[in-house]
Chains A and B, each alone.
Chain A
Amino acid sequence: MTTQGSTPSPVEPTTSTALHHQEGSSPEAPSHSITDFTADFGAANLRETVHAYIAKVRGGEPGALPALLGLVVLVLTFGFTTKLFISVGNLANVPGQAAPTIIIAMGLVFVLLLGEIDLAAGTAAGACSGAMALAVNNNGNLAKVLHGGTFGAYVIFMAVALIVALWQRLWLGAAAVLFGLVILLTHLASNDVVSIALAVTTGTAIGVLTGILVARVGIPSFVVTLALFLTWQGVLLLFEGNGATVPTRGFAAINGIENKNLSPMWGWIVFVVSVVGYGTVTIFRSVRRRARNLSAEPLVLVLLRLVLLIVVGAFSVYFLNKNRGKGLVKIEGMPWIVPIVLVLLVVLTLLLTKTAFGRYLYAVGGNAEGSLRAGINVPRMRVSAFTISSSLAAFGGVALASYSGGVNSGAGGGNTLLFAVGAAVVGGTSLFGGRGRIRDAVLGGLVITLIPNGLGLHSNMSSAYNFVITGAFLLMAAAVDAASRRRSAV
C-alpha cells in the first residue's frame, strides 16, 4: 500500500508547513499518494459495485431501495389484480394526484433534516391557497371580500414576518414576504400568476414566524405546529366561510398546473434534456474525479442508473403521449406538473448537496451543538428550514387547488399533512434528523399515491383499506428508518 513518494513517518522535522495548506501543491500521481484511504476510489467493476452496495444497505444506508421496492410491489399487485391500473387513462392521473403530496413533502424534508416536524404544513397549504383563490376571484381586492379585521390581521401578520425575516437576515425570505405584502395591499393578485405568488409568499411568512417560535422562543416544533395546524384551519374558515368552495378552474395559470399538458413533442424534449443533462453531469463527474484521484462513484453504477432512468423515463413519456381522451376530445401529452416537479427536484437537490447552506442543514440535524461550535448560526438555519418548508407547502396547496378545481373551506386538512410526512419517510428521510433527500419526497409521494389509486380501481375495496395499507407502509418505512439508525448510529 505504501509507495515511494509518501512519508509514513509520524515525526518529520519539517512538517510544520505540511500541516497547513500547501499552496500550489500539485496533485500527486495516482500511485504515489495512496497510502490508505483505499476505499475512496471505490469499486472498479460491477461485481465490486454490487458488493459495496449490499454492504451499504446492510450497514444501515438503504437509500432509495425500500421506496423503489414498494413501487414495484404496488405496480405488480395492482397491475395483476385490476384491468385498468396499467392503462393510459389511469397512469396519466398519477403525477397530478401525487404532486401536492410530493411538493409538501419536499418542504418537509428540510424540516425533518433538522429533526423537527411541521404538523401545520397541510393546513398552511390550505389557508395560503384559500387566500389565492379569494384574491383572484375578486380582482385582487382581498380587503373587499375579507372581514375588515381579518384583512387587517393578515396585513399585520405579513408585516411582522417581514420584520422578523429582516432581523434574522433572511434576505430572500424578506424579499418574498415584502412582495406578498405588496400584492396584498395592491390589487395585483387579479392576475392569476401573481395570485399564486401571493399564496407562496404567505407561506414564506408563515414559515418565518413558525421558525422564530421554534428557534428563538424555544417552543418544541411539535407543539408550535400542532397549534398552528388548528390555527390555519380556522383562518381558512374565516377566509371562506363554512362549507364554501372558491373555484379556480377559470384561471389559466392555476388551472394549468395540474390540468394542462405539454404537446407530445415537448414531452420528448423534456425527457431528452433531463436525461442528457443528468447523464453528462454524473458521467463527467465520475470520470473526472477518478482521473484526479478523488473519491468517485464507479462509472458502471452511474451508467446503470442512467439506463434505468432512460428506460423508465422513455416509457413514461411514451405512455403520457398516447391519447387518453374519451370520444372526440383528444387528451395527450405530459402534464405540466411533471416538469414543474422535476425543476423543484433539481433545484432543491442542488441546494441541499452543493451549497454550504445545505451542508449546514445536515450538520445541524446531525449535531446541533457541534454545528454551533463550527460557527454555524443554528437558530437561523432552523428559521430558514421552516421558511422553505412552508413556502413549498403553500405551493403544494396551489397544486391541490388546481387539482380539485377550487379551494374548499377544509382544504389541506384531514390527512394532507400525514400523507406528506408519510411520503418523506417512506422515501427514506429520517424522522431523527440528519438524513434525507429531496428525491425521497418524490419516490415516497408516488408510493403514497399509488395505494389509493390502485385500490380505487377495485370496486369492492372501501377507503378503509386505503388507510390501513397506507398505515402499514408508513410503519414499515419508520421501522426501516429506526433500524438503519441503529445500524449506522446516525
Chain B
Amino acid sequence: MADSPILSMRGIDKSFGAIQVLHSVDFNVYPGEVMALVGDNGAGKSTLIKCVGGIYPIDHGDVFFEGTPVTIHGPRDAAALGIEIVYQDLALCDNLDIVQNMFLGREIKKRPFGNLDEPAMEQRARETLKSLSVRTVKSVRQVVSSLSGGQRQTVAIAKAVLWNNRVVLLDEPTAALGVAQTRQVLDLVRRLAQSGLGVVLISHNMNDVMEVADRITTLYLGRVAAEVKRADVTYQQVVELITTGRTGTIGLQPATAAESA
C-alpha cells in the first residue's frame, strides 16, 4: 500500500454563513486504495467532497495533489487534475440523453469547425456503459428523465469513469441501487483502486465499507474523528467513531467532541 497520498487536504475550514460545517479537516486519498469517508447525516461528508470538486470554495486550508499545492477554483480545475466526482444529489440534466450527459462540459469535437462529434461520443458512451455491465438501458439516446433512479446513478458513475482519472470520489453511489447493481458498483470501486486510482467511497452501509475500504476516515460533526486502516479497526469501533467521535484510545478528545456537539 502506498503511503504518500495522491490527494491531501490539510486543515480545511468551511462555513456557510455563521455555521461552521468543517473544522480543520485533514483528508487523504492514497493511490491504489479505497478510502471510505463515513459519518452521520450532516457530518459534512458531501460538503468536503464539494470542496474537493471546486463547487464550494474553502475558507482555510491547503490542498495538495501529488504533493504539490494546488487551488481548485471550479469543476474544470478538478477535472484537469483528474479528479472525478459522483455527487450525492445527482448532477444529471433530465432533458438531455445519456450520451449528452456523460460528455457534458467535455464534448468531443470535430475539426475544423468544432462541431460536436456525436458518433464518437455515442460509441464511447456505449463502450463505457457496457464495461459497467449496464443491461437495463434500452438506448443511450434515451433522455435521463425516462430512467429509473438506479439507472441514473449508473449513468452518473459511468460519466465519472469515462475519463482518464487519478482520483474518483463517489458520494453514496449505492444509495439508490438494487442488490445486483450495488454489487457491481462495489466491484467497480475495487477495480478502480486496483488500476491505481485513488478512490473515495461515501456510504452509510458499514458492511459495504468494511468490505471494500482500505482506509476509513470518520467525520464527527465536521471534525475528523480518525483516519484508520481498515485492518486496524472492528466494525463496532467504526460505528462508535461515527456516533460518538471516539472509541477507546482512537478519536477526538472528549473535550473536543463535546465542544463540537
Which A residues have a C-beta under 8 Å from some C-beta of B? 6, 8-12, 15-22, 25, 27, 33, 35-40, 59, 289, 292, 294-295, 350, 354-356, 359-360, 362-363, 365-367, 369-376, 434-435, 488-490
- Chain B, interface size category, equals 35 or more
Residue of chain B at shortest CB distance from A35:
B130
A18 CA to B161 CA in the complex, in Å? Answer: 10
The listed residue (A16, A36, A295) touching B136 by CB distance below 8 A is A36
A contact residues around B100 at 8 Å (CB): 359, 362-363
B142 interfacial contact with A, CB 8 Å: yes
B109 interfacial contact with A, CB 8 Å: yes
Does the CB pair A356–B116 fall under 8 Å?
A: yes
B123 interfacial contact with A, CB 8 Å: yes
Does the CB pair A19–B191 fall under 8 Å?
A: yes
Report, nearest first, the 7 A-B pairs whose CB atoms are least far apart: A16-B195, A374-B105, A366-B95, A366-B93, A39-B139, A434-B95, A370-B91
Does the CB pair A367–B136 fall under 8 Å?
A: no
Does the CB pair A294–B123 fall under 8 Å?
A: yes
Per-position binary interface string of chain B over residues 91-125, scored 1 when its CB falls under 8 Å from any chain A CB and 0 otherwise: 11111100010001111010000111011001110
The listed residue (B75, B105, B141) touching A295 by CB distance below 8 A is B141
A contact residues around B177 at 8 Å (CB): none
Does the CB pair A40–B141 fall under 8 Å?
A: yes
B contact residues around A25 at 8 Å (CB): 127
Does the CB pair A366–B94 fall under 8 Å?
A: yes
Which B residues have a C-beta under 8 Å from some C-beta of A? 53, 55, 74-76, 79, 85, 87, 90-96, 100, 104-107, 109, 114-116, 118-119, 122-124, 126-143, 145-146, 161-164, 183-184, 187, 191-192, 194-196
Does the CB pair A27–B140 fall under 8 Å?
A: no
Does the CB pair B74–A375 fall under 8 Å?
A: yes
Does the CB pair B79–A37 fall under 8 Å?
A: no
Interface centre among A9, A37, A363 (most CB of B within 10 A): A37
Residue of chain B at shortest CB distance from A9:
B133
User: Beyond A6-B130, A294-B119, A375-B75, is A19–B140 a contact (Cβ under 8 Å)?
Assistant: no
Does the CB pair A8–B192 fall under 8 Å?
A: no
Does the CB pair A488–B146 fall under 8 Å?
A: yes
What would be 7 A-B contacts, judged by CB atoms less than 8 Å apart?
A: A18-B131, A19-B195, A295-B140, A362-B96, A373-B53, A373-B87, A490-B94
Residue of chain A at shortest CB distance from B193:
A16
The listed residue (B53, B118, B133, B138) touching A10 by CB distance below 8 A is B133
Question: Chain B's nearest CB lies how many Å from the CB of A433?
Answer: 8
A contact residues around B142 at 8 Å (CB): 39
B contact residues around A40 at 8 Å (CB): 126, 138-141
A contact residues around B196 at 8 Å (CB): 16
A contact residues around B138 at 8 Å (CB): 36-40
The listed residue (A8, A59, A363) touching B135 by CB distance below 8 A is A8
Does the CB pair A362–B95 fall under 8 Å?
A: yes
A35 CA to B75 CA in the complex, in Å? Answer: 34
The listed residue (A6, A289, A362, A365) touching B119 by CB distance below 8 A is A289
B contact residues around A12 at 8 Å (CB): 131
Question: Chain B's nearest CB lies how many Å from the CB of A374?
Answer: 4
A contact residues around B184 at 8 Å (CB): 10
Question: Chain B's nearest CB lies how many Å from the CB of A45?
Answer: 18
Residue of chain A at shortest CB distance from B160:
A19
A363 CA to B75 CA in the complex, in Å? Answer: 16
Does the CB pair B139–A16 fall under 8 Å?
A: no
Question: Chain B's nearest CB lies how many Å from the CB of A355?
Answer: 6
Does the CB pair A354–B94 fall under 8 Å?
A: no
The listed residue (B116, B119, B133) touching A355 by CB distance below 8 A is B116
A368 CA to B119 CA in the complex, in Å? Answer: 26
The listed residue (A20, A38, A376) touching B104 by CB distance below 8 A is A376
A290 CA to B128 CA in the complex, in Å? Answer: 20
Question: Chain B's nearest CB lies how many Å from the CB of A78?
Answer: 36
A contact residues around B187 at 8 Å (CB): 10-11
User: Beyond A289-B119, A359-B104, A375-B105, is A367–B91 a contact (Cβ under 8 Å)?
Assistant: yes
User: Beyond A356-B116, A372-B55, is A363–B133 a contact (Cβ under 8 Å)?
Assistant: no
A6 CA to B129 CA in the complex, in Å? Answer: 12
B contact residues around A434 at 8 Å (CB): 93-95
A210 CA to B151 CA in the complex, in Å? Answer: 39
B contact residues around A59 at 8 Å (CB): 146
Question: Chain A's nearest CB lies how many Å from the CB of B229?
Answer: 23
Does the CB pair A16–B194 fall under 8 Å?
A: yes
B contact residues around A6 at 8 Å (CB): 130
Does the CB pair B104–A363 fall under 8 Å?
A: yes
A contact residues around B79 at 8 Å (CB): 375
Interface centre among A9, A350, A434 (most CB of B within 10 A): A434
A366 CA to B145 CA in the complex, in Å? Answer: 10
Question: Chain A's nearest CB lies how many Å from the CB of B147?
Answer: 10
Question: Chain A's nearest CB lies how many Å from the CB of B19?
Answer: 21
Does the CB pair A359–B128 fall under 8 Å?
A: no
Does the CB pair B122–A355 fall under 8 Å?
A: no
Does the CB pair B107–A359 fall under 8 Å?
A: yes
B contact residues around A490 at 8 Å (CB): 94-95, 143, 145
Question: Chain A's nearest CB lies how many Å from the CB of B212?
Answer: 13
A contact residues around B141 at 8 Å (CB): 39-40, 295
User: Beyond A36-B136, A355-B116, A376-B105, is A489–B145 a contact (Cβ under 8 Å)?
Assistant: yes
Does the CB pair B164–A20 fall under 8 Å?
A: yes
A contact residues around B105 at 8 Å (CB): 360, 371, 374-376
A360 CA to B123 CA in the complex, in Å? Answer: 21
A contact residues around B55 at 8 Å (CB): 372-373
A372 CA to B85 CA in the complex, in Å? Answer: 13
Interface centre among B128, B132, B145, B192 (most CB of A within 10 A): B145
Does the CB pair A35–B95 fall under 8 Å?
A: no
Does the CB pair A295–B122 fall under 8 Å?
A: yes
Does the CB pair B135–A355 fall under 8 Å?
A: no
A contact residues around B161 at 8 Å (CB): 19-20
16 additional A-B pairs beyond A20-B161, A20-B162, A371-B104, beta carbons within 8 Å, are: A12-B131, A16-B192, A16-B194, A18-B131, A21-B162, A37-B126, A38-B139, A40-B140, A295-B139, A360-B105, A366-B93, A366-B95, A366-B96, A370-B93, A375-B79, A489-B94
Question: Chain B's nearest CB lies how many Å from the CB of A53?
Answer: 15
Question: Chain B's nearest CB lies how many Å from the CB of A285?
Answer: 9
A11 CA to B180 CA in the complex, in Å? Answer: 12
Residue of chain B at shortest CB distance from A8:
B133
Does the CB pair A435–B95 fall under 8 Å?
A: yes
Residue of chain B at shortest CB distance from A61:
B143
